[in-house]
Amino acid sequence: MSSPHALILPYPTQGHVIPLMELSYCLIERGFRITFINTEFNHNRIFAGSVLDQAKFIDGIHFVTIPDGLEPEEDRHNFQKLTTSLTTMMPKFFEEFMRNNAVEFTCFIADIFMAWALKIAKNMGLRTIAFCPAAAGLLAAVLSIPKLIQDKIIDENGKIFRVDSFRYSI
């Protein structure tokens, strides 16, 4: 029986890539093979000028790249522009990678900000996992937003309608 093989896709910013790299190393310690998807821009930026220049395989992690949909000169610090490109342009590149890649993956782990990729991977028969690199409290708060709107505590824009008082328990 071959070892499990996880395909991992982070949102392409440092605060998202690093936690998924750490998860990758934890999985390697447990016998997984890892294929880590970087955007072409991010991969070139991370490895440019190092002895690992254009590395494809480091510390048990196989790196692959796909385009993010932006032109090389476009501003990737513009969160709205980057996210729009990642959700409208990158899916076709990801789907093409999935179709053309001969490697059989056991599962797919996507950053929660890249949730669009979960459906593509699931449609190709992979088990999927959404990973949140932020603190658990933030995830709980974000997942509570629909209930807060439904209970008319906030509106769709986050404006607070009412604040109920509560007592601290000591």
Please name the residues in contact with 130: beta carbons below 8 A apart, sequence gap of 6 or more: 109, 110, 111, 112, 115, 118
Answer yes or no: do 97 and 48 share one domain.
yes
1 pLDDT tier (thresholds 50, 70, 90)? low
Write down the pTM of the prediction.
Answer: 0.77
> Can you give the pLDDT at residue 166?
65
Q: Are 65 and 40 in contact (CB under 8 A)?
A: yes
**How confident is the model over 136-155, as pLDDT tens digits?**
888 788 888 899 889 888 88
> Can you give the pLDDT at residue 47?
67
Answer yes or no: do 86 and 106 share one domain.
yes
Answer yes or no: do 112 and 140 share one domain.
no
Q: How far apart are CA 75 and CA 18, in angstroms?
A: 21
Answer yes or no: do 24 and 105 share one domain.
yes
- Beta strands 61-66 and 57-58 are antiparallel
Answer yes or no: do 100 and 141 share one domain.
no
Q: Considering its fold, how many domains does the chain have in total?
A: 2
> Can you give the pLDDT at residue 51?
54
**How confident is the model over 38-79, as pLDDT tens digits?**
888 777 776 665 555 455 656 789 999 898 888 878 877 787
**How confident is the model over 106-130, as pLDDT tens digits?**
999 999 999 999 999 999 999 999 9
Answer yes or no: do 50 and 129 share one domain.
yes
Length in residues, the chain: 170
Q: Are 6 and 107 in contact (CB under 8 A)?
A: yes
- Going by C-alpha positions, the residue among 152, 145, 114 that lies closest to residue 130 is 114
Asked if residue 90 has pLDDT above 70, the reply is yes
Range of the domain at 141: 135-170
> Can you give the pLDDT at residue 122?
94
> Can you give the pLDDT at residue 98?
92
Q: Are 129 and 10 in contact (CB under 8 A)?
A: no
Please name the residues in contact with 110: beta carbons below 8 A apart, sequence gap of 6 or more: 8, 9, 117, 118, 121, 128, 129, 130, 131
